[in-house]
Amino acid sequence: MKILLDTSDVKAIKRISGMFPVWGVTTNPAIVAAGGVPLFDLLPAIRDAMGGKGTLFAQVIAPTVEGMIDDAHKLRERVDNLVVKVPVTPSGLQVIKELTAQNIPTLATSVYGAAQGLLGVLAGAKYVSPYVSRIDAQGGNGPEVVSELQALLSTHAPEKELVAASFKSPRQALECMLIGCKGITLPVDIFDLFIADPAVGIAVKQFEEKWQNTFHQENL
């Protein structure tokens, strides 16, 4: 499966990419605004932090069809293999359809329902991202929506990929992995929590102490 980071924190991207094969990095307008770095400066910095590898995702922001298409072209001029994120709205579906005709890859985002997500990929999006924790916050069941959408894709668009997003806990992400998501995009803090169990550090320290007490050396 593909694990992506959902962040504009270049230092964190570099740190995690150094220890794990991160497949890509996603951003959205809110994440970029929170970081304070202009998007067209940020994207090359993210690419460099990943060692020139991986796939970048960035979202259009214009309110009109024409504006979103123009945004997409500007993003692709900055990073030529970038995947353009487009919200699944009536205007967004038009944009996805047009960009697909131009051979520009897209991710259908702001997805809160399985049928909505399916429309995004049938319009041409290569990827689709349901918002797991946001669905939960509205009284829905995020993992259930992911499961339904995954089933729809398997039946109607098996070549498309579900990239679950919007997580508030490692458990939410794990549930989506168990469902069979081909990809998940994690905030940095959630990624770190997967390997932050205090018991792990205690076990490693015990191994080191017993080894050093017996052999009086730190290495093999």
Residues with a catalytic annotation lie at 85
Q: How far apart are CA 163 and CA 183, in angstroms?
A: 4
Conformational region of residue 185, where left means phi above 0, alpha means psi within -120 to 50, and beta covers everything else: beta
CB atoms within 10 A of CB 79: 17
Residue listed under structure tokens 């399985």? 114
- H or E element, residue 94: helix 90-101
Q: How far apart are CA 46 and CA 139, in angstroms?
A: 35
* 3-state DSSP assignment of residue 55: strand
Residue 103: HSE in the Cβ half-sphere, 13 Å Cα cutoff: 2
Phi and psi (nearest 5°) for 145? -65, -40
Cβ–Cβ under 8 Å, residues 60 and 84: yes
